[in-house]
Structure 1
Amino acid sequence: MAVSRRHAVRGYRWWAVALVVTGVLVALATLAVASLTLFVARTVVIPPKRRADDTRVISFDPDAATVTLSRSLDALLPGEYSLWFTGGAGHARVGDIVGETGVSVTRTVITVDFGDLTTARRGRLSGWFYLEPGEFGHPFTDVEIETELGPAPAWLVPAAQPSGRWVIQVHGRAVSREETLRAIPVFRDAGYSSLLISYRNDQNAPASPDGRYGLGDTEWHDVDAALQYAVDHGATDVVLMGWSMGGATVLQAATRSDLAGVVRGIALDSPVVDWITALRYQGELRNLPNPIRSAVLVLIGQGWARRLTGQLSPIDLPRLNFVRRAGELQLPILLMHSDDDGFVPSTASHALAEVRPDIVTYEAFTVAAHTKLWNYDRRRWNTAIARWLDSAVD
C-alpha cells in the first residue's frame, strides 16, 4: 500500500511538472507570436532610416565599363537602373546584361556619378535613374509646399510654354521624390508643368506628430497642399500621379480633397489599390502564418493598439480599398502594373480595371517588377502615358 502511494505521489509530481512545463512553453510561444506580430506591424508604419545593401559587388572593370554583381532577381532584370553602393556613398547607372553565371550577373556601367566603385563591396539596385531635374536640361525651381505640418520641399519643372496643365508626382513608401524624375520628359512633351513633391516623414520633409506612416490615409493632406500650391500658381487642370504607396495617397486626395474639382485624371505606377491585399501578400513573402498576417492588420487598424504601434490614429484600411470603393471614382485612370511586381501584387489593380473599365486604362506589364516599368521598357511606358493624356484627359 505504501509503495503504491509513493508511486501515485511520484506520478502526480511528474504530471504537475509536465503541466507547468507545457504552460511555460505555451506562454513563451504566445509571447513569441505576439512579439513577431508587433514587430511586423511596427515595420509597416515606421519609416526606415536606411535601405539595406542587398547586392554583393563582385568586381568593377573600368576599362570594359562593366560591373559584376551577385545574382538576384533585380540583377537579372533587363533595362537601365541605378546602383547605389557603399551605404549610399556612391551611385552608378547600369545597363545591359553582358554576361551571367550561376552566381553572378555582369552589366554595362553607363556612368559612375560619385563614389569609388572599384572599392565597393555591397550595393543595391534601384528603379531611380536620375538624381535631380537639372539632368534633363530644362529650367526648374526648388520650391516649398506649405503643408499643415510645415514647409515640404518640392521641385517645379515648368512646361515649355505657359500652361494651366500640371502633374503632381507622388513617390512611394520609404523612398523620395527622385523616384518620380523619370516622368518629367513625357509630361513636359505633353505640355505639363511637373511638381515633384515630398511628404510627411520623408527625410527632408516635416515629420508627422507620431512619426508613423498612414499608408496614404494621412499623407494625402500633403498632396492637398500641393494642389493648393498648383492652383495658386496658375494650374487649372491637374493630373495626380502616384507610385506604389503614392498611388494609395493620390487616390485618397482625389476623393477627399476640397480641390479635387481641378483634378482631370490619375496615373498610377505599381500602385497600392488595396492595402489589405498588399500587406497579406507581403506577409506571405515573409512566410508568416495567416493568423499573424491578420493580427498585423488588426494592430495597425484599431485604436486600442496605438500605444503598441506608436500611431497617433489607426489606419482606416477599408477606406484605402479602392476595389471596394470603385464606384466613387469618376476620373480617367491610367493604371500600369507588372504581374511580376514582387512587392505589391497586381491582383487589386486587375480587379479595379475589371469593375471600372469605363474609366480605367490598364497597361499590364510582365517581368518589370515593382516601380521599374520605365526602366524595363521606357518606350512602352512613355507611350502609354502620352496616349492616355491625349485620349482620356485632354
Structure 2
Amino acid sequence: MSRGCDWVGRLVRIAALAGIIGGAALASGALAASVLSGVMARRIVTPSVKRADDVRVEAVDLAAGTITLQSTADSVLQGDYSFWFSGDSGHAHVGEVLRSTPAAVTRRILRVDYGDLAEARRGRLGGYSFLGPWDLSVDFEDVLIPTPAGDAPAWLISSTVPGGRWVIQVHGRGVRRQETLRAVPVFRDAGYTSLLISYRNDGEAPVSADGRYGLGDTEWQDVEAAIAFAAGHGATEIVLMGWSMGGAIVLQAATRSRLRELVVGVVLDSPVIDWADVVAFQGDSLGLPGMVSSGAMQVLGRRWGGLITGQRAPIDFRRLDFVSRAAELDRPVLLMHSDDDGYVPATGSRALAVRRPDIVTFLPFTVARHTKLWNYDRESWNQAIMNWLAALPTR
C-alpha cells in the first residue's frame, strides 16, 4: 500500500496555508522557494504519523454487497484492494468494479474485517490484501531481528520444502510489513522461506537516534541484520525484495552489506531508483518551481541541513542513484513498475533496465498505479516472479 511520496505535496500545501511562508518570504520569490525547500526536505525524512482518508464514500449497500466510491485514479482500478475507512477505525476488502461513471465507481465488497462500513463517509484504498500471516492460513513465527537500532519485529514463514533459499521482504515508506504479504505465496510455492521485516522508524521497529528516515542510506543496515539472522537460521541463498522506498533500501544492502555474497538476486516493485526523480516529480505535479525540489535535495544532502530536518547525518544521494550506479550491480534483478504510478515515476526503473539489460528483467505495467501491480494483475505478477526465480543460477 505504499503511497510513495504524496507526503511532499501535502506538506508544501499545509506550509503555505498555515502561514509558514510569511509576508517577508512572499516578498521574495527566492526566499519563499528556500523556505518551501526546507519544509519539503523536513517532511521527506519525517515518518508519517497518520494517513488521510482521500476518497469519498457515496453509498454502501451491505445487503447487495456493494460500495460506491468517488472516482479517482485508484478507485477505478480493477482488482482486489484494501479499504480503510473512518480514520482507520475500520477495514474492508473491495473487489471487482461493477459500474463506473466519471463521478463514481461501484465495487463488490469482499469482506469487512472490522468497523461499521455502513456509517463510513470517507476512506482510502491500498494494496494490502492480507492483514497478517494468519490470513494466508500458513504457519508462522513472530521473531525479533537484532538491528543496530534495537530488536525489530518480523514474521518468519517457513518454506514447504526443506532448504536454504530465503527471501527477505522490505516494505515501503509510511506503511508496514503487511504490504509484503502478497508475495509470500509465490515465493513459498517456489521453495523459499519468507522473512518479512520491519526497519527503523516505520512504527514497529525501534526509532533511530534522530527519528528520521535515511531514504535507504541508513535503513539498509537493518536489512543486513536480517540477512545475518537468515544466515544464522540456515539460509544459503537469499533474494531481497523491496517495495517503493524498500527498493532503495534493498539496493543499498545488495551493494554495501558485508554479507552481500549471500544475496543471489533482487526483486523490485515500484521502486525508488533515483530520489532526484521522485522529488522532482512531486514538485512538478504541484506546479512548484524546480528550485524548490532541487533545494530540498540540497538541504537533505548537507550537514547543515540537519538544523532544518532534524537529521543527524546528511543523505548521500549519489549513493542512492542506481541509474548512475547501474554498472555496480552484479546480481540478477526483476524490476516491475507501472507507467501511471503517480507517486514514484517509472523513469528511473526504465533507465536502469536500459543500462543493464544483461541482468535486469523488466516487467512494465501501463495501468496499475503505485505498488498495486499484484492487485491489478495477480497472474502476470506471480508468473513473472516464478519464471525469474526458476532462471536464477543455483549455488
Range class of TM-score, shorter chain: over 0.9
Q: SS at the partner of 2:181?
A: helix
Amino acid at match of 2:231: V
C-alpha RMSD of the superposition? 1.3
Instruction: Classify 1:285/1:235 alpha carbon distance in 2 versus 1 (closer, same or farther; 3 Å).
Output: same
Q: Return the alpha-carbon distance in structure 1 between the equivalents of residues 26 and 286 of structure 2.
A: 23
Query: Hey, what does 1:178 align to over in structure 2?
Result: 178
What are the superposed Cα offsets for residues 7-55 of structure 1, whole Å, 9 maximum, x if unpaired? xxxxxxxxxxxxxxxx968755544333222111111110110111001
Query: Hey, what does 2:39 align to over in structure 1?
Result: 39
Query: Hey, what does 2:291 align to over in structure 1?
Result: 291
CA contact (8 A) 2:238 2:263 kept: yes
Q: Return the alpha-carbon distance in structure 2 between the equivalents of residues 134 and 24 of structure 1.
A: 56
Q: Return the alpha-carbon distance in structure 2 between the equivalents of residues 354 and 101 of structure 1.
A: 38
CA contact (8 A) 2:33 2:291 kept: no
The 5 Å alignment of 1:212-231 reads: 212-231=212-231
Instruction: Classify 1:393/1:133 alpha carbon distance in 2 versus 1 (closer, same or farther; 3 Å).
Output: farther
Q: Return the alpha-carbon distance in structure 2 between the equivalents of residues 293 and 51 of structure 1.
A: 23
**Could you tell me how far 1:58 is from its partner in structure 2?**
1.5
Query: Hey, what does 1:208 align to over in structure 2?
Result: 208
Q: SS at the partner of 1:234?
A: coil
CA contact (8 A) 1:57 1:123 kept: yes
Q: Return the alpha-carbon distance in structure 2 between the equivalents of residues 393 and 136 of structure 1.
A: 29
Question: Is 1:71 aligned to 2:47, yes or no?
Answer: no
CA contact (8 A) 2:25 2:31 kept: no
Question: Deviation above 2 Å: which 4+ runs of structure 1?
Answer: 23-35
CA contact (8 A) 1:374 1:381 kept: yes
How many residue pairs get aligned? The number is 372
Q: Return the alpha-carbon distance in structure 2 between the equivalents of residues 191 and 24 of structure 1.
A: 62
Q: Return the alpha-carbon distance in structure 2 between the equivalents of residues 271 and 187 of structure 1.
A: 19
What are the superposed Cα offsets for residues 194-252 of structure 1, whole Å, 9 maximum, x if unpaired? 00000000111101111111000000000000001000000000000000000000000
Amino acid at match of 1:163: G
Question: Is 1:248 aligned to 2:244, yes or no?
Answer: no
Amino acid at match of 1:142: D
Query: Hey, what does 2:53 align to over in structure 1?
Result: 53
CA contact (8 A) 1:91 1:114 kept: yes
Query: Hey, what does 1:80 align to over in structure 2?
Result: 80
What are the superposed Cα offsets for residues 256-296 of structure 1, whole Å, 9 maximum, x if unpaired? 00100000000000001111111111111122111111111
Q: SS at the partner of 1:118?
A: helix
CA contact (8 A) 1:265 1:393 kept: no
Structure 1 unaligned residues grouped into runs of 5+: 1-22
Amino acid at match of 1:303: R
TM-score normalised over the length of structure 1: 0.92
Instruction: Classify 1:139/1:343 alpha carbon distance in 2 versus 1 (closer, same or farther; 3 Å).
Output: same
The 5 Å alignment of 1:297-308 reads: 297-308=297-308
Query: Hey, what does 2:93 align to over in structure 1?
Result: 93
Q: Return the alpha-carbon distance in structure 2 between the equivalents of residues 192 and 393 of structure 1.
A: 15
The 5 Å alignment of 1:196-345 reads: 196-345=196-345
Q: Return the alpha-carbon distance in structure 2 between the equivalents of residues 161 and 392 of structure 1.
A: 17
Question: Is 1:149 aligned to 2:149, yes or no?
Answer: yes
Query: Hey, what does 2:163 align to over in structure 1?
Result: 163
Q: SS at the partner of 2:196?
A: strand
**Could you tell me how far 1:165 is from its partner in structure 2?**
0.3
**Could you tell me how far 1:100 is from its partner in structure 2?**
2.1
What are the superposed Cα offsets for residues 117-158 of structure 1, whole Å, 9 maximum, x if unpaired? 001111000011110011121110000000011110000000
Q: Return the alpha-carbon distance in structure 2 between the equivalents of residues 197 and 366 of structure 1.
A: 29
CA contact (8 A) 1:332 1:393 kept: no
Amino acid at match of 2:39: F
CA contact (8 A) 1:66 1:108 kept: yes
**Could you tell me how far 1:102 is from its partner in structure 2?**
2.9
TM-score normalised over the length of structure 2: 0.92
Amino acid at match of 1:390: A
Counting aligned pairs with the same residue, the percent is 57
Amino acid at match of 1:107: R
CA contact (8 A) 1:81 1:375 kept: yes
Q: SS at the partner of 2:117?
A: coil
Instruction: Classify 1:24/1:276 alpha carbon distance in 2 versus 1 (closer, same or farther; 3 Å).
Output: closer
Q: Return the alpha-carbon distance in structure 2 between the equivalents of residues 124 and 218 of structure 1.
A: 30
Query: Hey, what does 1:7 align to over in structure 2?
Result: none
